[in-house]
Each structure stands twice: as structure tokens, then as C-alpha cells.
Structure 1
Amino acid sequence: MTVNEERLYIVAYDIRHPKRWRRVFRIMQGYGEWLQLSVFQCRLSRERHAELIALLDGIIHHGEDHVVLLDLGLAERVVPRVVSLGKTFTPIEREPVIV
């Protein structure tokens, strides 16, 4: 997948147990930019998207927790129409991935 094929996602989650919430939060820090409590903005290739889903799926309790990944479209083409009160919202830019 090329850089131009990365997609922009908003990931929001509601995790019932604080220990699981912290695990999800730490994972999300490696995949995107923290916007506010339990909400991240992520720029992901198809592979990183699948990897993130697999990691989250292994942590959450499906009867208690909820994770939503909103696909906003191709990262290089999307122009989010966002109303942001308080802090400024800026779409996440392409950054090198350190493995």
C-alpha cells in the first residue's frame, strides 16, 4: 500500500473496566493522535488498520465494551468538515512509522 492509499479514521471507544481502558489507550497511542478522552485520529494503511482491529478485538470484552472506527476516506484527499470548540482540530499529517 502506498502513502496515497492511507485512510483517515476517527476511533472512539467506551471501555467499561479501567485496566482494559488503559490498555486500549496505550495501543491507540501507537496508531494515532489523541484528540480527547477515548477519541483518536488515525492515518492507517490497510495493514495497520487490520493490525489495530486484531489488537483491540483481543482486549475488549464484547458484551461490555464498544469501539467504533469511522473511515473518513483517503487521507491525502479528505477535507474534514469539523466544528471544533476550544482546541483547534488539525487533520493528522503523514509521519514516519518507527518499528
Structure 2
Amino acid sequence: MDQRLYIVAYDISDQGRWRRIFKLMKGYGEWVQLSVFQCRLTARQHAELIALLDGIINHDEDHIVLLDLGVADNVIPRVVSLGKAEFVTIEHEAVIV
């Protein structure tokens, strides 16, 4: 299962849409800060997430950026984190079926 590491950041103008995006993103990755998540996604999950986000946003008012950092198991993010929250890279977790 090839996963890539993504940073997803969004600027949503409507509070209701922002809450919908936030709830959706919690199912796909780890919350980093207010409107930023890091996600380990397969190609299928990535396509699914884009389709779901595309269906929620107002294309004239909102903006979402998905930054592809590369193959998740090979990426060693170099992050400067200032302030109270420490940035921790999302780890690969076993999936029990």
C-alpha cells in the first residue's frame, strides 16, 4: 500500500463549510493547527478526498491546498515549529481488518 504524505491547508470563508471540511479532514489525517492537516494517503484516498472537498467548497470564496511531500515512508520532513504545539510526523499505522 503506497502512501504519500500530504499537508492540507484550507481557507474557508463560511463557518458552516469550515466545520464540514474540518470534520471530513479528521477522518483522513492528523490535525496540525486550525486549518492544517497532515495526511498519509493512497492514490485512491487522495482522489476520494479531492472529490469530497470539491463538493463542499464554494469555488468563488474558498481555497484548499494539498501539498504532496512524497512517498510517506521515505519523507523526513524538516519542520520548524514555534510556540506551544510540537509538530510530529504522522506515523504509519497497521490496519486491522
Q: TM-score with structure 2 length normalisation?
A: 0.93
Deviates more, 1:72-81 or 1:85-94: 85-94
Equivalent residue number for residue 57 of structure 2: 60
Equivalent residue number for residue 19 of structure 2: 22
Structure 1: segments with no counterpart, 5+ residues: none
| Corresponding pairs, count | 96
Secondary structure, aligned partner of 1:57? helix
One-letter amino acid matched to 1:46: A
Question: RMSD over aligned Cα, in angstroms?
Answer: 1.5
Q: Deviations over 1:36-72 (max 9, x none)?
A: 0000000000000000000000000000000000000
Q: TM-score with structure 1 length normalisation?
A: 0.92
Q: Does 1:49 align with 2:46?
A: yes
Question: 2:60 and 2:96 mapped to 1: Cα distance?
Answer: 34
Equivalent residue number for residue 71 of structure 2: 74
One-letter amino acid matched to 2:6: Y
Q: Deviations over 1:11-47 (max 9, x none)?
A: 0000000000000000000000000000000000000
Shift of residue 85, structure 1, vs aligned partner: 1.0
Q: Give structure 1 regions of 4+ aligned residues with deviation exceeding 3 angstroms.
A: 96-99
Rate the CA distance shift 1:97–1:62 in 2: closer, same or farther, 3 A: farther
Structure 2: segments with no counterpart, 5+ residues: none
Rate the CA distance shift 1:39–1:97 in 2: closer, same or farther, 3 A: farther
Shift of residue 90, structure 1, vs aligned partner: 1.2
